[in-house]
Amino acid sequence: MELEGLLEKLKLDHLQAQLDAVCEQAAAQELDYKTFLAEALRLEWQGRFQRGIEARLRQSRFPWNKTLEQFDFDFQPSLDRRQMRELAGLSFVERAHNVVILGPPGVGKTHLAVALGVKAVEAGYSVLFHSLESLMTRLNRAQHENRLEATLKQLTYPKLLILDELGYLPLSHTEASLFFRLIVRRYERGSLIVTSNKSFLDWGEVFNDQVLATAILDRLLHHATTLNIKGESYRLKEKRRAGLLGRPKPADETEPSRDEPEEVMPMTL
Ligand code: ADP
Ligand code: MG
């Protein structure tokens, strides 16, 4: 069988696509047989690895692609960079620990959750992103169609599950119970990143049930890192820069302050 045919049968697509270049390079560098073979196989492996990342990125259903490198930590001094670096090392995923990101709208909760998710995908983990709304739609539908068990299994499979925007919509009692079942399933098996605009004290209201909220928090926080972002909205900063909001008042001369005065106009974020 010819070389081309063998590459095709063995599905060495990446090597096949770059065969001429690899051979030319090997000739130019006068590589010995073993080194050449290693180079050729490395090229195939790299291509497959990259394709795997792209496939897992698609399966993760991130709303957009953001990285930690794109995050401006100077803008958000309440965030501990060392802690973020530690999380980016992904040992929390390995150990099935959780991350909870709390803070008001626009401070970068979703950005950080996605960025950690992208890191996890690049490291070879399976990741799934859901807004709380889409999660509830999926669970509700599964329950109505009598396939809740299968759906809970699917949601337990990803090594990292990101649940974004807990707290914007209050949950019904049935929804809160479904959420609890999911948390129980994943407990100590797979990691969760949960983002919320509500402090833990308000979770009783979110779940419409204080006892259930306590049971959920108990499992969620048993092995967890909580990031409490206290800063200003990055969206507002961008609007301000675009001139859509007034400039912050200059700091009082007798009492210099680097904090921007509160002069946010009522508006929908
Ligand atoms: P939240 O989820 O807390 O409401 P987002 O993560 O959606 O906020 O952030 C709003 C927008 O601002 C996004 O486009 C995000 O990428 C950007 N953003 C927020 N904080 C920062 C930051 N510190 N550096 C760079 N971009 C940021
Ligand atoms: Mg968000």
Whether 49 lines ligand 1, by a CB cut-off of 6 Å, is: no
Say how far apart CA 155 and CA 94 lie, in whole Å. Answer: 17
Q: How close are the terminal C-alpha atoms of the chain, in Å?
A: 64
Residues of the chain with CATH 3.40.50.300: 61-253
CATH hierarchy code of domain 61-253:
3.40.50.300
Tokens (6 digits) for 235: 């969206």
Please give the pLDDT value at position 247. Answer: 54
Whether 105 lines ligand 1, by a CB cut-off of 6 Å, is: yes
Q: Quote the ligand 2 centre to 175 CA distance (angstroms).
A: 21
Identify any residues that bridge with 192 across adjacent strands, giving them in sequence order.
Answer: 161
Whether 72 lines ligand 1, by a CB cut-off of 6 Å, is: yes
Whether 65 lines ligand 1, by a CB cut-off of 6 Å, is: no
Tokens (6 digits) for 131: 């807004």
The helix (run of H) or strand (run of E) holding residue 207 is none
- Asked whether the beta carbons of 99 and 116 are under 8 A apart, the reply is yes
In this structure, the dihedral spanned by the alpha carbons of residues 112, 114, 115 and 116, taken in order and rounded to 10 degrees, is 90
Given its phi and psi angles, is residue 55 left (phi above 0), alpha (psi -120 to 50 degrees) or beta?
Answer: alpha
Say how far apart CA 134 and CA 110 lie, in whole Å. Answer: 15
Q: Whose CA is nearest to atom 5 of ligand 1?
A: 108
Q: Which atom of ligand 1 is nearest to the CA of 76?
A: 23
Please give the pLDDT value at position 83. Answer: 96
Q: Which of 127, 82, 70, 78 is nearest to 101 (CA)?
A: 78
Mean pLDDT of each 10-residue bin along the chain, 269 residues long? 94 96 95 96 95 95 96 94 96 98 97 98 96 98 98 98 96 96 97 98 96 97 96 84 61 38 35
Please give the pLDDT value at position 44. Answer: 97
Amino acid at 239: K
Query: What residues contact 192, with CB distance under 8 A and at least 6 apart?
Result: 98, 99, 160, 161, 162, 163, 183, 186, 220
Whether 113 lines ligand 1, by a CB cut-off of 6 Å, is: no
What's the predicted TM-score (pTM) here? 0.84
Whether 167 lines ligand 1, by a CB cut-off of 6 Å, is: no
Q: Which atom of ligand 1 is nearest to the CA of 72?
A: 24
